[in-house]
Amino acid sequence: MTATSVADICRSAKRAARELAQVDTARKDAALTAIAGALIARSAEILTANALDMESGREVGLGDALLDRLALDEARIEGIARGVQQIVALPDPVGEVIEGRRLPGGLDMRKVRVPLGVVAVVYEARPNVTIDATSLCLKSGNAIVLRGSSSASHSNATLVRIAAEAAVGAGLPEGCVGLVGGGGREELAELATQSETVDLIIPRGGEGLKTALGEVATTVPVIYAASGNCHVYVDASADLEQAQAIVLNAKTQRPGVCNAAETLLVHEAVAETFLPRIAAALSAAGVSVRADARTREIVGCASSSSSATSGVSSRNGASPALQEASEEDWASEYLALTLAVGVVESTEQAIEHIGRYGSGHSEAIVTRDTAAARAFQLGVDAACVYVNASTRFTDGGEFGMGAEIGNSTQKLHARGPIGLRELCTFKYLVEGDGHVRA
């Protein structure tokens, strides 16, 4: 990649996008297959670069969750390559006829999917996003400009070089994959104002990134792949074994991601039964709990009773003391082994709580009551609403999209996982035979 400035990279991408829009599926799939093969063949090169980022991350004190996001190993590289191959196997959205009909005057009209053009993806310390986003954009006929964080600079530079070389070698145009280096605000501001060359910006990261981009993105449209303050609500009729498994999975399976649960709400009818057991299970999993007064009282009483009857102290067996939840806790995306827990009086109160504090990402109810499930599905305003399932399923791969660029919490154009179709717009193709309007 010879371009040296943000404007040059974006202009190069614009030139590539014009050609990409006309590239057939076979050539795009060949390019993605070449990228997947290159990732495996050059994995040692990738791991060497990633080791430099991991070393720097430890030196500056990145937390365990962020280091986990940053880390690559042979298994993760193989998983990224498999994700690319899954995208190869997906139908090409470009040219798909959304609808078509003959108008009353005899004109034939088709509404078809077309690429957006140039998509810029701004993201934090997750080098897998480099390949996921690149693959989705190329398959959907878009050129991509990537801007990762400084904490993953070595990994991203290596991954982009490998992907770009493989794609161009397979026949895609130069400039179809570009990288804006570094992580400075100046580059972000310049990227966010390239309205003549960039058609869409997708930021993937926490509220800090969202705020930083919002301050400078004045001319280029943005879809925010935003943070996730996700909830699990355990209803009065819930199967409590099932509820425990879902809560633990949603919180602990991978706590540093946006679809991990950050708040647990429990109906008062099952609180005395469920809260002590889930508190003990969360404690055993290393989760710190921030709890409301009713939760602390119930768990505290259970701990006292257990200690009195068994002679085992709370430190050695029963649930530990819980920290008091503040107003800030209910609104927090912890991205760590921390969970806010509260008791509610009804499904309606749970919905109200989620409406006040949720981010519109993913919300779950555990219930055997069809009416409660339906009320939750209708009442919760989020991209993904689950009944008796973990919030961790909100993922492009899990949804059969092959991968995702992020999860949109907005309502216009794209909502939920951003996959191939979400990276397209449409045009109307109208054909006549000398028609003129009267």
Asked if residue 253 lies in contact with residue 392, where contact means CB atoms within 8 angstroms, the answer is: yes
400 belongs to a structural domain:
no
Residue in this structure with the two tokens 């078509």, named with its chain if needed: 100
Segment holding 394, helix H or strand E: none
- CATH number of the domain enclosing 87: 3.40.605.10
438 belongs to a structural domain:
no
81, pLDDT greater than 90: yes
Asked if residue 404 lies in contact with residue 397, where contact means CB atoms within 8 angstroms, the answer is: yes
Say whether both 288 and 195 belong to one domain: no
398 belongs to a structural domain:
no
pLDDT one-digit tens code per residue, 196-217: 999 999 988 777 777 888 888 7
- CATH number of the domain enclosing 330: 3.40.309.10
Say whether both 70 and 143 belong to one domain: yes
426 belongs to a structural domain:
yes
Say whether both 290 and 421 belong to one domain: no
Say whether both 240 and 349 belong to one domain: yes
pLDDT one-digit tens code per residue, 271-308: 999 999 999 999 999 999 999 999 999 998 866 665 54
**Cα angle 33, 149, 52; round to 5:** 80
pLDDT one-digit tens code per residue, 327-351: 999 999 998 999 999 999 999 999 9
Say whether both 280 and 213 belong to one domain: no
304 belongs to a structural domain:
yes
Say whether both 186 and 264 belong to one domain: no
Q: Which residues, in sequence order, are bridge partners of residue 118?
A: 143
Say whether both 188 and 239 belong to one domain: no
User: Which residue range forms the structural domain that includes residue 317?
Assistant: 230-393
132 belongs to a structural domain:
yes
Q: How far apart are CA 279 and CA 269, in angstroms?
A: 17
Say whether both 39 and 109 belong to one domain: yes
Say whether both 146 and 175 belong to one domain: yes
Model pTM score: 0.84
265 belongs to a structural domain:
yes
